[in-house]
Every structure is written in C-alpha cells, then in structure tokens.
Amino acid sequence: IPEYAFIGRSNVGKSSLINMLTDRKSLAKTSGRPGKTQLINHFIINDEWYLVDLPGYGYARVSKTSKKKFQKFITNYFEQRQQLVSAFVLVDIRHKPQTIDLEFMQYLGENGIPFGIIFTKADKLKPNAIDNHVEDYCKELLKTWEELPPYFITSSSKKIGQDDVLNFIDATNEEIEALKKE
Ligand code: GDP
C-alpha cells in the first residue's frame, strides 16, 4: 500500500491538517502545546493508502542529544520505507522560508524522496498576502531547485485545500497502479 508522510515543524498545524484530511476529528489530537506527536502514527485511508504522521521537528528547547535522536529516527524512517511515495513538508504560510524546512527538503532531494509542500493556516492571511508569501517561497526554492515541487495551500480551520491534497494523492496512486499494469 502506498504511503504518504506528513512532516513539519511542531505547531505548524499538522494534527489539524491530518484531522481535516481524514475527516475524523478524534484521530489525531490537536494541541496548542508543541511536541505532542512523538511517535509515528499511521492512518489507512479508504483501504488505498497510508497517511503517515511523523513527529514534528524544530523545537526551540530540546537538547542536542534529543535533536540527534530525532534526526536518526526520521532518517531511519526515510531509509527504510519501501512504500513511501511522497513526503509532504508542512510550512506555516505566514512565515518566511525557514532554514530548517529548506534543509529538510534538501535532505529529501538528496535521498531521492519526492515531496510536496503544504502551506498551512492560509486563513490567517488575506488572499493577496497568500499570493505574495507563496511567490516569495517559490523564489527561495528556485535558488536551489531546478523545478518547484507540487504545493498546496490549506487551512484546516476553514477547510481549504482538502480536495487539492486528496486529489493529488488519488491521481498519484492511479499513476502507480497504471505503471504496475504495464
Ligand atoms: P502540530 O503541532 O503541527 O500538530 O499543530 P496543531 O494541529 O496542533 O496546531 C497548532 C496550533 O495551530 C493550534 O492552536 C491550532 O488550533 C492552530 N491551527 C492549526 N491549523 C490551523 C489553521 O488552519 N488555521 C488556524 N487559524 N489555526 C490553525
């Protein structure tokens, strides 16, 4: 079964996004307190694919040792997952591109792991500000990448972007099925 992994800085809105995508409010608990999602959670969607909830990264106040441990944990995951189709890196649409996110995307690229970007909390910006922020983000990416990854603009509180993400995953799964049949 194909897997899609969701990851981002803690407090980026990952639990809320997963709740929106799975439409089951009780599945991933949201919290105002960063760092609650500690281990990997798997959600099977329509018997067709796995949504993999990876722990958030980039807490300000953790020791070097636990940062190292976390990195090992994440790299182990990415090195071992045969079924992983794509990762989604979540970024708060209000923020300028953050080194930690860009470095993580770099890591994915270097390891041949396809990824998309999910901009979260779009309800917090006016439409023209959304466009500006996304444009700035893309400009930053184009400094190191030849091509832009697929990206999605979402708001879990306003239910924006749900179909965009799910349709992308469905289309990708169909492509995989078609390739298998060839
Ligand atoms: P996680 O740590 O990445 O899992 O983030 P959470 O889903 O727990 O969200 C962190 C905080 O951001 C919570 O206070 C949420 O209510 C808030 N939040 C998450 N998504 C949205 C959104 O789309 N819009 C707004 N306005 N707030 C959000």
What are the sequence ranges of the domains in the chain?
Answer: 3-174
Q: What is the mean pLDDT of the chain?
A: 89
Confidence class for position 169, pLDDT limits 50, 70, 90 = very high
Question: Tell me, what's the pLDDT at 118?
Answer: 98
Q: Is residue 117 within 8 Å of 89, Cβ to Cβ?
A: yes
Res 130: pLDDT: 98
Answer whether 158's CB lies under 8 Å from 123's CB.
yes
Architecture of domain 3-174: 3-Layer(aba) Sandwich (3.40)
19 CB under 6 A from ligand 1?
Answer: no
Confirm or reject: Cβ of 58 under 6 Å from ligand 1: no
Q: How far is the CA of 14 from the centre of ligand 1 (A)?
A: 7
Q: For residue 158, which atom of ligand 1 is closest to its CA?
A: 23
* pLDDT (tens digit per residue) in 73-96: 888 889 888 899 999 999 999 999
pTM: 0.92
Q: Tell the residue nearest (CA) to atom 19 of ligand 1.
A: 13
Specify the higher pLDDT residue, 172 or 182.
172
Distance 179 CA to ligand 1 centre (A): 37
Which residue reads 């879990």 in tokens? 156
CA angle 7–8–12, rounded 5-degree value? 125
d(CA 23, CA 45): 10
User: Residue type at 76?
Assistant: N
pLDDT value for 41: 84
Q: What is the pLDDT of residues 16-68, one digit of tens each?
A: 999 999 886 555 554 445 555 457 888 888 889 999 999 888 766 667 777 78
